[in-house]
Amino acid sequence: MNKSSIKIAYLYEDLMNTYGDSGDVKIIKFLLKKAGYETEVDNVSLGTNFDASKYDFVFFGGGQDLEQTVVAKDLPRHKQTLQKYIESGNPMLCICGGYQLLGSYYKTNAGITIKGLDIVPIHTVFKADKRMIGDTHYITQWGEVKAFENHSGQTYFDNDKLKPLGKMIEGYGNNPQDGVEGMRYKNLIGSYSHGPLLKNENIANALVDKIITRYHRRTEHAL
């Protein structure tokens, strides 16, 4: 690794990249380069050793039930390092399946329960009769967001530890009842927004600021 580069970990890039979620990482790289920073992206996949403390940003994209089942079996070995990274206030973005797997469980259409990392207090239930698909529009602390959603998993907060990423204007978001999209906890963001999400420059720039702050903190600590 080049010590002068910003380090990005892409969790299961080869399995969790539904609807072009890798676009979020490409946008982050573009904006960081524009700000004068080089980046390195590592694919953390099945069997890969992973120490989150060495990274400045962690990305976890979406996947179908099959891919999620495969990833869920490998993911628990990373729980401790991810939990420490998140609790330390470091930036992470999780989209759709990646968002779901940070919670306690995801119940599939077949009634199979996929255990998540149980890092954040959410759970997700697949509802075959209610596919939530289409354009979304919601308001966040950084302004409005327009994106696209396509999911049958309905996600619910299990306590008030979390804040929603945004309040829905158009679309479903987490579920048809709550009127909110995604979640925020410290500098962790979870969302159902594809498109990709970070085509919304207000969100992308806010995240880039957090990544740069993390980079300087990490590299200064290493001196």
Alpha carbons 125 and 148: distance in angstroms, whole number: 20
Show which residues are catalytic.
Answer: 96, 194
Helices and strands counted in the chain (H then E) = 5, 14
Two structure tokens written together for 192? 């159902």
Helix boundaries (H) for the chain? 22-34, 65-74, 79-87, 97-101, 201-222
Considering only CA atoms, which of 99, 95, 93 is closest in space to residue 116? 99
The DSSP letter of residue 25 is: H
C-alpha pair distances (Å), 2 with each of 39, 40, 42, 81:
9, 8, 12, 21
Phi, psi of 149 (to 5 degrees): -125, 150
Two structure tokens written together for 44? 């953390």
Alpha carbons 198 and 162: distance in angstroms, whole number: 21
